[in-house]
Structure 1
Amino acid sequence: MSADKSVADVDAMKPVFTTDGLHPRDSFQRWHDVLDAQEANLDLQRVDDEPFMARVESSTVGALNILRMSQSALRTEFRKFGAWRHGREGMVTAAFKLSGTSSSLQDGREAVLSPGDLYILDKRPGVLTTSAGSQAISMDIPREYLERVLGPTQLYTALPARAELASTSLARAFFRELIRVGPGLSPASADRMASIGVDLIVASIAEQMAKEVPRPLHGTVVVQRAKAFVEANLADPTLDPPKLAAAVGVSLRRLQELFQERGQHISDWIWQRRLEAAAKRLADPGYVHLPIGTLAYGCGFASQAHFSRRFKACFGTAPTEYRHAALVSAQ
């Protein structure tokens, strides 16, 4: 399947806005008014004389509100990333380019975007210029999660994960299917699938950073890639510092040095992320049917006893008690 059809050919999205049926002389102003009503604080400029069109469709899967936007050639300046989605100040926008071409500018970095590319824009001033027939899907994802794994967003805004990357191709295919099957998922399954999708986006950006980031930042990128690999492989009980070093292509000694420069130890980081993932699942009603041992194994622990011992040392309470308290407070 070609990149420009990877998500655009599904029909599970619901219309939100369209200029279809409007007189050509009114369509651009109507689009401008819609964005103004959302307090988006944008400066829109036409870049050709063709009849203007815009269309927005949406699909919600778990915590992800996915938008598919089609529009004519347009220069959009974000003076301040506003409330296109109210209450999303702690989020950044991730988008897959589906058709047409675009250029993005943010944090002093400019990129030309082609069909299939994945890119990130944060809620800071920036410019996005689209060609005629441009289409993309976008979603807001938590800034805190991206920065925990990849570092400050200034490192990768307007740094597209190219369509030909294996990780980007996988992420694109995943979202194609997620949009298609999303309406049939249970709430718990939708939340889990949305979380997997965010992890795939992170992995794609991490891979592109490793290819293009300036050499002085190489150590930072290696650590970020290592952390992204840990996130994607928490369930692997054999994941340890040597295996992690091999996965990111550096010696174990070098990886240990890079983590220590940041006041961290590799094994401590792996166990901490496993414990945090387990705590999140213990508090998730969607996992309440899983025995503690099964849940622990799914987070990379070899035995329930080992898990219980480490969990209590970290959180001050046994896993069973933690689950009970979390589920009671959520009622």
Structure 2
Amino acid sequence: MQPFFSTDGLHPRNAVRQWRELVNERLVPAEIETPDGLPFQGRLEVTRIGEVPVSHFSHTTVRTKVTAAAARRHGNPDRLFALLKLSGRDTVQQSDREARTRPGDLVMLDSSASVLDAETGDSLVIELPRHHLEAQMGPSRLFIALTAGADLASTTLAGSYIRELVRVSDRLTPDAAARMASIGVDLIVASLAERMAQEVPRSIHGNVTVQRAKAHVEAHLGDPSLDPPQLAAAMGLSLRRLQELFHERGRHISDYIWERRLAMAAKRLSDPACAHLSIGMLAYGCGFASQAHFARRFKDRYGLSPRDFRRAQRQDFQSVASTFGLSS
């Protein structure tokens, strides 16, 4: 692999900033921070095997956060990233899942909103076309942030092959590199497919119960007292059982309720018919107990304050209206 970047020799104040610029360029625009402002060190090596870009990231403990707004504006929905953990441990939240990886584990990510907490360690990141994997395994939502552990024989084989392929890649002819890279991708697919086969089948009754719960949430989003215990009571279930049903589907009840409240708020902020509502009134109408709480959660979800989001939506609407000669 070829050295691409290192924080060696950089002033500590500049290390995180330049690492952020690097991640933004190579993967997706992200917010980067270290725990308690500790010094950061990082190194990146890169190579391309056939048509497959491979990056070797080494770094100290760091948190990488991709907001929904950044992903929507600058993410590449056509690419997926297979992360092979070499050392250290990661925890990543993406696509309503929380994946934990240890050395030897493999996890597939995309450029959508995510939070990655990585301990000191290193990883190989293999960039792949989404359509290629989806053609073999179905929609990517089925396997995004699903950890294929090193305890699986297919993951062990895939990891060993990819590490060795990276090691000898500079000695391969272009044709051989393309063939070997294709085999590596097939091994990644086999590993993910084996992991997906382990997913617990979901009962029809459980599906119906969760759909009923979601319908109840939609009908009561404006009720600030709506919370997991109240929802469980309305479904005639214990809170523990309802939590299990949601967890089986990769969701947390409270997260789902807040996501739906935020989605309703975003819809109303975009609706000219709701332009007369103050931010506070709109927040209360969507079930938030305080405007400050609403503003904080909304910015975390959409990357803009409610006021700025409304202003941006209004400008977009006026621009479209002007284009079609509809402005007053």
Map of 1:1-331 to 2, 5 A cutoff?
13-36=1-24, 40-79=28-67, 80-81=70-71, 89-131=77-119, 133-215=120-202
Task: Give 2:57's aligned amino acid.
Answer: M
Task: Give 2:142's aligned amino acid.
Answer: L
Partners of 1:76 and 1:128 within 8 A in 2: yes
Matched position secondary structure for 2:198: helix
Partners of 1:58 and 1:67 within 8 A in 2: yes
Matched position secondary structure for 2:127: strand
Matched position secondary structure for 2:111: coil
Task: Give 2:147's aligned amino acid.
Answer: P
Structure-2 separation of matches of 1:15 and 1:192: 25
Cα distance change on mapping 1:76 and 1:202 into 2, 3 Å:
same
Cα distance change on mapping 1:111 and 1:41 into 2, 3 Å:
same
**Cα displacement (A) at 1:150:** 1.0
- Render the CA deviation track for 1:152-211: whole Å, top value 9, x for unaligned: 111111111001110001001111211122111111111111111000000000001111
Normalising by structure 2, report the TM-score. Answer: 0.57
Partners of 2:27 and 2:111 within 8 A in 1: no
- Structure 2 spans left out of the alignment, 5+ residues: 205-328
Task: Give 2:130's aligned amino acid.
Answer: R
* Equivalenced residues, count: 202
**Cα displacement (A) at 1:35:** 3.8
Partners of 1:40 and 1:83 within 8 A in 2: no
**Cα displacement (A) at 1:37:** 5.5
Match of 1:251 in 2: none
Structure-1 separation of matches of 2:155 and 2:27: 32
Matched position secondary structure for 1:211: coil
**Cα displacement (A) at 1:123:** 2.2
Structure-1 separation of matches of 2:113 and 2:140: 13
- Render the CA deviation track for 1:241-275: whole Å, top value 9, x for unaligned: xxxxxxxxxxxxxxxxxxxxxxxxxxxxxxxxxxx
Structure-2 separation of matches of 1:148 and 1:104: 25
- Render the CA deviation track for 1:266-310: whole Å, top value 9, x for unaligned: xxxxxxxxxxxxxxxxxxxxxxxxxxxxxxxxxxxxxxxxxxxxx
Normalising by structure 1, report the TM-score. Answer: 0.57
Structure-2 separation of matches of 1:162 and 1:189: 29
**Cα displacement (A) at 1:39:** 8.4
Matched position secondary structure for 1:141: strand
Cα distance change on mapping 1:205 and 1:35 into 2, 3 Å:
closer
Cα distance change on mapping 1:39 and 1:14 into 2, 3 Å:
closer
RMSD (Å), alpha carbons: 2.3
Structure-2 separation of matches of 1:179 and 1:101: 21
Cα distance change on mapping 1:159 and 1:18 into 2, 3 Å:
same
Amino-acid identity (%): 41
- Structure 1 spans left out of the alignment, 5+ residues: 1-12, 218-331
Matched position secondary structure for 1:196: helix
**Cα displacement (A) at 1:101:** 0.7
Partners of 1:76 and 1:129 within 8 A in 2: yes
Task: Give 2:32's aligned amino acid.
Answer: L
Task: Give 2:179's aligned amino acid.
Answer: R
Cα distance change on mapping 1:31 and 1:106 into 2, 3 Å:
same
Partners of 2:55 and 2:126 within 8 A in 1: yes
Structure-1 separation of matches of 2:7 and 2:35: 18
Partners of 1:41 and 1:82 within 8 A in 2: no
Cα distance change on mapping 1:31 and 1:202 into 2, 3 Å:
same
Partners of 1:102 and 1:130 within 8 A in 2: yes
- Render the CA deviation track for 1:30-74: whole Å, top value 9, x for unaligned: 222334566832122222443211111012110111100011211
Task: Give 1:198's aligned amino acid.
Answer: V
Task: Give 1:18's aligned amino acid.
Answer: S
